[in-house]
Amino acid sequence: MAAGLAAVGFLDQTGLAGKRHWGGAKRGGGKMEPYLAVFSDIDGTLLDSQHRLGQETVEAVRRIVAAGVPFVLVSARAPAAVFPIQDELAVATPIVAYGGALVLDQDRRPVHSLLVPQTKAREIHSRLARERPLVTVTFYSHDDWLVDDTSHPRVVLEAKITSLTPIPFDSPGAEDRVVHKILCLGDPGDIAALAEELPERYPDLSIFRSSQVFLEIMHGDATKANAVHYLCQALRLPLERVVAFGDNYNDVDMLQQAGLGVAMANAPAEVRDGVGRVTEYDNDHDGVARFLATIPLISAATSLRFTRASFPPPEGKE
C-alpha cells in the first residue's frame, strides 16, 4: 500500500475515522456523516495523460471496494472501452457509458438506454459534412462505433486509446443501428464553435464538450448527473452521501449534484470554478487516490447487489 494512503478516512462500524478529512454530508443539527459511494469519470480523472491507471490509484480504489464502498465508473466511453479499466480496478458495480445515455448493471447488461432519434442523427451528420467538413462525425451504438473513414488520423488515435474497432457507415446494417451518442472530433476552434451553435439548433438534445477536441451529442435526458441520480434512486443511495470526481465540461452537472463534487487539478478553469472542491494533485499524480485519503467513507452499502433486479425495467426511448 502506498504511503500516501495510510491515513485513508474510512469510518468502520465502530465510528473510527482517519485523522484528516474534509468532512462528510451534513444532517440535522449540523453533524457530519461519512460518504457511502464514489462515482468517477475515467479519462483525465482516473487515467493519467498516457491513458494509464497509476498504481496508487488502483490500490486506493481496491481498498475502498474491499471496505464495501461502491466505486462506479461514469464515462463518455463505450461500454467495451470501460470494461478493461473496471477489470484492472477489480470493480464489480454498474457503469455509466456514453455520458449517461447507457447504464449497465453489475453483470454488464443494459438497464437504462436513451437514444438519439435516427432521423436527427442522420440530419446532424449531413449538416456537419456540409458546414464543417474538417470535423469528423461518428456514431456509437452499444459497442459499435460507426465512422466515415476508418483510416482518418483522429479515428486511428481514438481507436488506439479506447481499443474499439471502427466500422464504416456504409457497412451492411449500419444504417439501422440505434444511436446512443454522436461524437464529433475536430480542432479546438471548430469544437468550441459547434458547442455554441448546436444547442441553439437542437435544444432537445444534450450537447457537451468532453475535451477541447471532442463534442458529444446525446438524448436530451442523457447526462452524467441524470445517470448518477438514476443509480442512486435505484440503489437507495442519498445523493448528498456520494462523492463524484471529474475533469471536464461534461462532468460539471454530476459534480454539482453530488454531496461532494471534486474537480481534478488538471481540469479547465471553468470546471474548477464551478464545483466545491479541487484535488491537490492532477491525474498524472494519482489525484483521485490522494483525495480519497482525506475524506470519510463508510461501508454501509456492503449488502447492495447491483443486478438487473435492482433497477426499473430497461428503457430504450428516443
CB burial of 300-315 (b: ≥16 within 10 Å; e: otherwise) equals bbeebebebebbeeee
Compute the CA torsion angle 148, 151, 155, 158 (nearest 10 deg).
Answer: 150
176 in active site:
no
Count of all residues that appear for the chain in the document: 318
DSSP string, 213-266: TEEEEEETT--HHHHHHHHHHHTT--GGGEEEEE-SGGGHHHHHHSSEEEE-TT
| Cβ proximity of 166 and 141 under 8 Å | no
CB 85 within 8 A of CB 73: yes
Separation of alpha carbons 110 and 130, rounded Å: 35
Find the catalytic residue in 12, 41, 48, 143.
41
73 with 91: CB under 8 angstroms? yes
Distance CA 44, CA 46 (A): 6
Catalytic residue annotation: 41
